[in-house]
Amino acid sequence: MTAQLYLADGNVEAAARELEAVREPVKAPSLLHALWGDVHRRRGRLEEAVSAYAHVHDKQHAYECGDCHRRSAEWLGFCPTCRRWDSYRSDVEIGVT
């Protein structure tokens, strides 16, 4: 919770120090991964942010077709259900602000 407060105050480095103190981060709750995602995003490390945010969501179904809502563990260029091209989107996407 301290890391979350540091992020709310804009102190990214203090939040990162708090998160680094967590033992066994892989087994940590989703909130920890979301906070790491925010730290990486604010540092400009978008690939690491996406990876951290992905731990928050169900990894088995990380992509969904925007037309028929078929879910997949990996991105597909073509949806075999509705037969649309380029309709799969990740559950975790970072937009440029």
pLDDT at 74: 81
The per-residue pLDDT for 10 is 93
3-state secondary structure 52-91: HHHCCCCHHHCEEECCCCCEECCCCCECCCCCCECCEEEC
* Cα–Cα distance, 2 to 61 (Å, whole number): 31
Instruction: Indicate the burial class of 26 (C-beta count within 10 angstroms; 0-12, 13-18, 19 or more).
Output: exposed
Query: Per DSSP, what are the bridge partners of residue 72?
Result: 63
Residue ranges of the chain whose pLDDT lies below 50: 97
Return the domain boundaries, the chain.
2-54, 59-97
